Structure 1
Amino acid sequence: MANYIDGFVLPVPLHHLDEYKRVAETVAKVWKEHGALAYFEYVGEDLKLEGTRSFPELLNAKEDEAIVFGWVVFESKAARDLANERVAADPRMPDLIVPLTNPSKMIFDAKRMAYGGFQPLVQ
């Protein structure tokens, strides 16, 4: 049973969704090689529930953006911290994050991503 997850939600322009998927598939492999037990990303489909605030509203998403929700599963917070250190040092990562650091190649705006580490409450 997993004891820690990193969770995130972000808007991705629809015209970049295929490229984002390709990058995310590689990122998933990198995280798993460095200690993640599992890596998931899903694209929003049914995002409105009356009486609640929706992810598109929370992220100020535009009509031409998809909402991606994901989480990475770790054995513990310590395992997560170590995996994140290793991922940051992985030589494949610079090519994967170029779109984040080069505005002309940006496939999503990381400043609009919500992220956090979570410990179990109910399992």
Structure 2
Amino acid sequence: MAHYIDGFVFPIPRDRLNEYKRLAQAAARIWKGHGALDYWEYIGDDLKLEGTRSFTDLIAATEEETIVFGWVVFDSREARDLANEKVAADPRMAELIASSNSGFDAKRMAYGGFQLFVQSSNANAG
């Protein structure tokens, strides 16, 4: 079954990764409580490939920052819209952001909703 995802990428100061991880773990619980099926975040490790534009360049990350790349999985775009509406109204999210010293800046985040286009996995192999 095809799902719908929200994808995002943004920089985080390397010296605040522990604070950001606590924020992300709490945010994941909130999103899942409001209907997300899965919540994934990864930290950049190998971000340069000759001949391509890197996430570091795209986001204008500094040497003191690393890139977070993630996505949230939903049953459908409608389920995503409803979950995001509930998350935005959830007072726990505002409290998390206000109390966190993570360096997260939504203005530097690239974000979008995506529908399935191509899928290939070992689980589909016969």
Report the counterpart of residue 118 of structure 1 in structure 2: 114
State the SS of the aligned residue for 1:16.
Answer: helix
> Deviation per CA, 1:26-73, whole angstroms, max 9, x where unpaired?
000000010000000000000111110000011111001010000000
In structure 2, runs of 5+ residues without a counterpart are: 120-126
Distance 1:41 1:77 in 2: 20
Distance 2:99 2:110 in 1: 18
Identity value in percent: 67
Distance 1:99 1:52 in 2: 37
In structure 1, runs of 5+ residues without a counterpart are: none
Report the counterpart of residue 123 of structure 2 in structure 1: none
Report the count of equivalent residues.
119
Query: Do the aligned residues in 2 keep the contact of 1:32 with 1:39 (CA within 8 Å)?
Result: yes
Query: Do the aligned residues in 2 keep the contact of 1:2 with 1:73 (CA within 8 Å)?
Result: no
* Letter in structure 1 aligned against 2:86: R
TM-superposed deviation, 1:2: 4.1
Instruction: Give the alignment of 1:44-123 within 5 angstroms.
Output: 44-98=44-98, 105=101, 107-123=103-119
Report the counterpart of residue 40 of structure 1 in structure 2: 40
Residues 57-66 or 106-115, more deviating: 106-115
Distance 1:99 1:9 in 2: 22
Distance 1:106 1:33 in 2: 22
Instruction: Give the 3 Å change call, closer, same or farther, for CA 10–99 of structure 1 in structure 2.
Output: farther
Query: Do the aligned residues in 1 keep the contact of 2:20 with 2:102 (CA within 8 Å)?
Result: no
Query: Do the aligned residues in 1 keep the contact of 2:38 with 2:73 (CA within 8 Å)?
Result: yes
Structure ID, larger Rg: 2
Instruction: Give the 3 Å change call, closer, same or farther, for CA 62–28 of structure 1 in structure 2.
Output: same
* Letter in structure 1 aligned against 2:69: F
State the SS of the aligned residue for 2:16.
Answer: helix
TM-superposed deviation, 1:106: 6.1
